[in-house]
Amino acid sequence: MIKKISHIAIVVPELKDVVGFWVDALGLDVAHTEHVPEQGVEVAFLPVGESDIELLQPTDTQSGVARYLAKRGPGIHHICFEVDDIEATLAHLKEMNIPLIDEQPKYGSDGKKMAFIHPKGTHGVLVELYELPPAEMEQHQEASDDLRRRLRDGREVYTAGAKAFLSRIRHGR
């Protein structure tokens, strides 16, 4: 069901005031920023390995993120998992009587399907599920296959070098 952690979202009052910590102190890069009017947020994406830190600044005082910030202050808002099949995952959660915020996935501006699980069902954590669009899934698979090929090729080169080195030592050269 779950493939990986897609991102960890952190609510902040002002992106410009907090990005410096993530960039200057921790050495992360801002991959891109995005205005998401349907969610009333400005977002900065900072890649960390195969996942992202997603900084959320509310732009609409009536949005869920703005209400969260007003009630709880800045901090972790949600964790997002990438899944293979979001519809099947939601159906499974429904069967288990897990409360859902979104019983059907919504589509993000980037074509990703997404849905939220209610914190009542996760023991206090807002969880988002993501399913990549087919073209993006194919790109991720190609990148993964390429990495595996490069690791295999590198391992073969290192093994051959180690064997040659040991052979020279054994034969006193």
Task: Choose between 1 and 4: higher pLDDT.
Answer: 4
pLDDT at residue 59, as a whole number: 96
pLDDT at residue 109, as a whole number: 67
Mean pLDDT taken over the chain = 88
pTM tops 0.85, yes or no = no
Q: What tens digit of pLDDT does each residue of 75-129 get?
A: 999 999 999 999 999 999 999 999 999 999 998 767 889 999 999 999 999 999 9
pLDDT at residue 143, as a whole number: 53
Task: Choose between 169 and 26: higher pLDDT.
Answer: 26
**DSSP-assigned letters across all residues of 72-141:** H-SEEEEEEEEES-HHHHHHHHHHTT--BS-SS-EE-TTS-EEEEE-GGGTTS--EEEEE--HHHHHHHH
pLDDT at residue 144, as a whole number: 53
**Average pLDDT value for residue range 164-169:** 77
